[in-house]
């Protein structure tokens, strides 16, 4: 299984994937930002990198087409979004349907989009966490595969939640990627299967 990881920033999830014992191989790290620290991590792990800046392309379509080309060059089987901060076009998503994963810092379907920790605190939720899901054209709406859940304490701030959720992310993302690499996790015709059983709700991990 040849894996590409798409990043825009710090890359702590990339690091967790690099450190995990995956049966697949991370063959390339693609960033839309040349200053993403994730690129350093990839270089230190001797992994091929590509910087494709969205600012160099007139449209989302042309940017996505260039990314697609890069993924084909790497002969990628699985695309892993790890803090990749661009909205993808439906055409690109379609090409990687069932072969592209994302991790999102909330218990989806709650809090799609940005500023999830702030929104959780504003609402006064007692539970928070992260979700790994297949990517579909609608933002943060693809089928959830796994969720890790934490209890929000009265002392939590945006910073502590960010840190606690990150820790959970580093725990569940490599596991789900490994399920995919070992073909325990399969997408077939809009249905997700885990160990040959239709996955009707996400696997849950409690902090
Ligand atoms: C994570 O919180 C992830 O859920 C979100 O972007 C953040 C990326 O963090 N999609 P990092 O770059 O992996 O440290």
Give the separation between CA 127 and CA 149, rounded to whole angstroms: 7
End-to-end CA distance of the chain: 30
DSSP secondary structure code for residue 108 in this structure: T
Give the pLDDT mean for 132-150: 95
Give the separation between CA 106 and CA 148, rounded to whole angstroms: 9
Question: Is the distance from CB of 9 to CB of 167 less than 8 angstroms?
Answer: no
Q: Is the CB of 12 under 6 A from ligand 1?
A: yes
Give the pLDDT mean for 176-205: 96
Provide the CATH topology of domain 1-96.
Rossmann fold (3.40.50)
In the residue annotation, 104 being an active-site residue is answered as yes
Q: Is the CB of 104 under 6 A from ligand 1?
A: yes
Give the separation between CA 162 and CA 94, rounded to whole angstroms: 31
pLDDT of residue 24: 97
pLDDT one-digit tens code per residue, 19-71: 999 999 999 999 999 999 999 999 999 999 999 999 999 999 999 999 999 99
pLDDT of residue 41: 98
Question: Is the distance from CB of 76 to CB of 48 less than 8 angstroms?
Answer: no
Check for a shared fold between 1-96 and 104-131+145-207: yes
Sign of torsion over alpha carbons 8, 114, 172, 200: negative
Domain range list for the chain: 1-96, 104-131+145-207
Give the separation between CA 28 and CA 90, rounded to whole angstroms: 23
Q: State the pLDDT confidence band at 207, using cuts at 50, 70 and 90.
A: confident
pLDDT of residue 147: 98
Distance 180 CA to ligand 1 centre (A): 20
Distances in Å between the Cα of 79 and the Cα atoms of 4, 19, 71, 103, 201 are: 5, 18, 8, 12, 22
pLDDT of residue 169: 98
Instruction: Give me Rg for the CA atoms of the chain.
Output: 16
Binding site, residues? 11-13, 60, 85-88, 102
Q: Is the CB of 103 under 6 A from ligand 1?
A: yes
Give 119-167 as a DSSP string: HHHHHT-SEEEEEEEE--SSTT-SPEEEEEEEEPPTT--HHHHHHHHHH
Residue 181: pLDDT over 90: yes
* CATH superfamily of the domain spanning 104-131+145-207: Formyl transferase, N-terminal domain (3.40.50.170)
Structure tokens at 133: 């899901």
CB atoms within 10 A of CB 157: 11
pLDDT one-digit tens code per residue, 77-131: 999 999 999 999 999 999 999 999 999 999 999 999 999 999 999 999 999 999 9
Q: State the pLDDT confidence band at 5, using cuts at 50, 70 and 90.
A: very high
DSSP secondary structure code for residue 2 in this structure: E
The ligand 1 atom at the shortest distance from the C-alpha of residue 130 is 4
Q: Return the closest-CA partner of residue 177 out of 102, 108, 112, 106.
A: 102
Give the pLDDT mean for 133-144: 93
């Amino acid at each position: 299984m040849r894996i590409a990881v798409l990043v825009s920033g710090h890359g702590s999830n990339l690091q967790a994937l690099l450190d995990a014992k995956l049966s697949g191989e991370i063959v390339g790290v693609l960033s839309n930002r040349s200053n993403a620290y994730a690129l350093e991590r990839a270089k230190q792990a001797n992994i091929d990198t590509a910087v494709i800046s969205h600012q160099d392309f007139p449209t989302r379509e042309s940017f996505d087409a260039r990314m697609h080309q890069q993924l084909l060059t790497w002969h990628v089987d699985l695309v892993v979004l790890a803090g990749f901060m661009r909205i993808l076009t439906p055409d690109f998503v379609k090409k990687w349907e069932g072969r592209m994963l994302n991790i999102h810092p909330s218990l989806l379907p709650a809090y799609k989009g940005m500023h999830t920790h702030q929104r959780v605190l504003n609402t006064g939720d007692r539970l928070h966490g992260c979700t790994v899901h297949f990517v579909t054209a609608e933002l943060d709406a693809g089928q959830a595969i796994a969720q890790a859940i934490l209890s929000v304490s009265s002392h939590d701030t945006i910073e502590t939640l960010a840190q606690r959720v990150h820790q959970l992310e580093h725990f569940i993302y490599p596991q789900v990627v490994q399920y995919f690499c070992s073909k325990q996790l399969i997408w077939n015709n809009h249905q997700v299967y885990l160990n040959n059983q239709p996955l009707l709700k996400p696997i849950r991990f409690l902090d």
